[in-house]
Every structure is written in C-alpha cells, then in structure tokens.
Amino acid sequence: MNKNLKDNAAHAKLLELSKAPFDLTEEGALSKQRFSKFRSSAGSLQMFYGTQRVDENTLDALQELADDAGAVGQFKAMISGEVVNKIDGYDCENRQVLHTAVRNVFADLNDSDNIGNSVDAIKAAQEELEKLDEFCKDLACGSIVNTVGQPFTDMVLVGIGGSDLGPRAIYLALKKYAQPQRRIHFISNVDPDDAAGTLDGLDLSKTLVTVISKSGGTLETLTNETFVAERFKNAGLPINKHFVCVTGEGSPMDNPSKYLRTFYMFDYIGGRYSVTSMVGGVVLAFSLGYKNFENFLRGARKMDLNSLETDITKNLPLLAALLGVWNRNYLNCETLAVLPYSQALSRFAAHLQQCDMESNGKRINRQGEELVEATGPIVWGEPGTNGQHAFYQLIHQSETVVPCDFIGFRQSQYGEDLKVKGTTSQEKLFANLLAQSIGMATGSDSDNPNKVFPGNRPNSLIMADQLTPEVMGQLLAFYENKIAFQGFLWNINSFDQEGVQLGKVLANGILDTYINGKPSDESSPTWILMKESGVI
C-alpha cells in the first residue's frame, strides 16, 4: 500500500472527528453499556478502552484507515518473508523481518497459517530450539558441570540494547517460575562499574556466561566480555568451559574452540524483537526451564495469529495501534505511559521504550520522503503504585495530556498475601489501578482550583488473570505487533535504526583520539569538548 497517513481516505474523517472527540467527563459517559461495548480480547488478554476518547464513529473511521492502509495485508507480507526492512531507492538494510517465525515452530509446516518464505526461518528456529533443549537436558542430567563436577547455579548475560532489555524484562517478569538455584545476572553498560558490581559476590566456578552479539563485534559487548573473561582467567577457570555465545553464523564469535555452546541469531530478526529467539532463549530456558520457555513462545504465537484478523475490534494489536495513532496524530498527544500494576513488570516499560522509539521514531517514509505527520510517541513508565507517588501529579493536572496503558492481573504470581485494615495487598493494588484509570478519564471538579482535575486523559486497561509464561508471551507480542502496525499506518520502516548508528560513528572517532593522543582535526567540536570537560 505504502500510503502516508494523510493520503488515506479516512484521514479527513478522523481530522473532523478530532475537533470534538468523545467527552469522558460528561455525566454518565462511562456507563455499563460503554464498558461492555468498548472491550476486546485475544488469548488470555482483555483490553478495556471505554476510557479512550473514541465513539462508534471514531472506530468506524479507524477501521476504514486500517483497511485503506492495508495494515493486516502488510503484516501478512511481513510474516511471509517479504522484504519490508527497506527504504525504496536508497542504501538500507534491505532485509526480511521474521521475528514471528521463531515462535511459529509448533505448527505443522503445511498448515495454512504458515505462509511462503517464512518456512525456512521456521526450520532454522527449530534447529536452534533443538540445540537449546539439548543444552538444558545436559545441564539437568549432569553432562555439563563445572571443573569439579558441580552444577551451574548462575548465568551472566553480556549484551546491550535488544540483547539486554528484552531478556532482562522477561526474566524479571517470570522470575517466580525460575528453577531452584538458577539465577540470571546482566551486564550491558560499558561503564566498568556495571561489570564489576555484577560479578562481585558471584561464585564464578558455578557461573556460566552468555555473550550476545549478532555481528560478533559490538564494541560495548566485546569490552565487557573481555572484562568478564579476565575475572575468570584470574580465578583459574577455563573460558571454553564457562562461556556460551549467541551470534550470527560465521561471525568472529562463531568459534567452537572458545565457547562451550554456540547458538545462532539471524539478520532478519532485529535486536529489539529478538527476545523470543535464542537471544532470550538461552537465559530464559536456563532459568525457567525449557518447557516454560516453550510456553512463552506459544503465547506469542497466539497473538501473532490474532494479528491476522481484519476486524479491528477482534485484532487486539491493531486496535491498540489505531488508538495510538488517534491519540498521536489527531489528539496531538506526544507521549505514552506504560503503567503495569505488577512489580514483576518493573523493566517491561524500559523494553517497550526501546522497541517502540527505536522502531517508530522516524522522520521519513519508506520512499525516503520527509513526513508531515508525527510518528512514534515518547514511551516511558514505571510500575504502579510506585509511579503514583512519583509522576502521576503531572498526568492528572498538567496541560500535557499523557495517554496511558494500564496493565493489571487479577491474581498475584506468588499467591502470598494478607489483610491489612480489611483488604489484601492485591485488593489494594487493583483498587488503585481502577481508580487511576477512571480518575484520569473523568477528572474531578472543585471550588478549590488546586483540586480541579480536568479529566479526558485517554487510557486503556489491559488485563489477564495471572502473569504466567504464556500470558507474558501474549503481552510481549501484543506490543511488538502493535508497534509494527503503527509503522505500516505511518508508512515508515520500523525495522532499522540509523539514529543509533550516528552516535557509534562519532564515539569511534573520539576513541581514536584517545588511542592516538591527539585528533586528526584540533578544531573539531569533539576535541574542544574533550579538552574543556577535562576527560583528556
């Protein structure tokens, strides 16, 4: 389709509707009928969006927008293996985007929902899963032990960006399901204090290290790997008995003599979409067990299949994407707060921040033309109820309207609770969650101007019964697919990240200055700043 947002037939309708969006503050606006109608579900997730500023006319126009943009058709093309990571007529990565293939390994390859060229990616994913299953079995039966025959209890992940944020967020989310005596630790920042602080207190003799770099040459990861390896050498521990790697086949790291096991990642899976691949697989299977990792993948697969629905009220990621476009482009809201009322999701917003902003923070379309309309929102957030005591003041009363995604689970993971002043902690958590959603929507009037809350803060409530591995997979894929749909609607390439590359190029120039002791150009701004700031 490749249409800019303004070129879709529904654009004019949505602009007109945005002049008088549904008023959430009117008496009786949030009725039982509204909450019953404005709700959708897929798998174990339900989304209540009666607190968004939409009515049936808006939804009809959003459906028309999705149809006119061919959003579902573009998603099908992506999972079929069509090259969608590209900018027409310009140098670019020019790749397939097949992160969905790694969670499609449970289906019969002849099934109708397996489309086209993705079969090769599914087969490659199956091979890596078989290697991972074997690795987990070898750990469990004692075929892989340390140099004195003891089992490994800890694993350190060395990676950065998508090789850290996704695995870290999911590990913390599902830590309750971890096997006894299996712990994961993370080193990502090139700041030496990150590596030193993480390693301090670890029994290295019982620790495995997983190093993740697709290219095998990511400078921060190479630096941290060398730092960690030096600790192991100083402890008299052989690197090839403790280090595992996840890398591209044929990369400098693809060296069986150096690593205990090697798992492959593929160039058609972007780092921020890689947690369902071996990037997340090795650490999650080590900690949670292989079966729980499989269930995580099965959950993601369910949401991928739901993303093929053409009716937006049945396609949860597409519906969320359209609501986001409505808020961003028609109600002029620049940010999105992701607010999980679950401590287990303490790093999930950070992962979504990368996934969304690195994907959709773009200014040109897929034809290399500068866009008129805004694209990705600024994504941020923290768990409730902590956030309520930090930044909700601004959300409730500032002139800046911040749409919110509230995430909640009816049951806690651990099931350990007690009553204080007549209610349990879980009841208090949910009371706060529901109160915030309604309070932001309806606001509150008062004779005291300091106590006036204007309301009309659009928000959605995403719920499930309990945060299990399968539900976590559904929640992850829900957001991944929502981000992809928004990219299709904006006609941008959501799968490259040139903005990341610029900083790397400039930093490498500064590193050359450190090495040589002087710059090639003493009038350069970087050299002047280095001198003035005292770093050299």
| CB distance 320 to 460 below 8 Å | yes
The one-character DSSP state at 509 is H
pLDDT value at position 506?
Answer: 76
- The helix/strand/coil state of 39 is strand
Nearest to 461 by CA among 119, 110, 39: 39
Average pLDDT estimate for 77-82: 95
| CB distance 114 to 107 below 8 Å | yes
Average pLDDT score over the chain: 94
Residue 109 has pLDDT above 60, yes or no: no
* Beta strand residue intervals within 128-287, DSSP E: 154-158, 183-187, 207-213, 243-248, 262-265
- Beta-ladder partners of 208: 155
Strand ordering across the sheet containing 243-248: 183-187, 154-158, 207-213, 243-248, 262-265
Nearest to 496 by CA among 370, 335, 329, 361: 361
Residue 383, both tokens = 């768990």
pLDDT value at position 111?
Answer: 54
Q: Tell me the catalytic residues.
A: 358, 389, 504
Residue 137, both tokens = 């079995």
Stated pTM of the model: 0.95
Long-range contacts, stretch 223-229, CB < 8 angstroms, 24+ apart: 223/190, 224/158, 224/187, 224/188, 224/190, 224/194, 224/195, 225/158, 227/192, 227/195, 227/196, 228/156, 228/158, 228/187, 228/195, 228/199
Domain locations in the chain as residue ranges: 118-296, 498-533
Nearest to 222 by CA among 197, 258, 257, 249: 258
Residues whose CB is less than 8 angstroms from the CB of residue 36 and which lie 6 or more positions away in sequence, other chains included: none
pLDDT digits 0-9 by tens, 152-170:
999 999 999 999 999 999 9
**Angstrom distance (rounded) from CA 170 to CA 187:** 16
Average pLDDT estimate for 419-425: 97
CATH architecture of 118-296: 3-Layer(aba) Sandwich (3.40)
pLDDT value at position 107?
Answer: 64
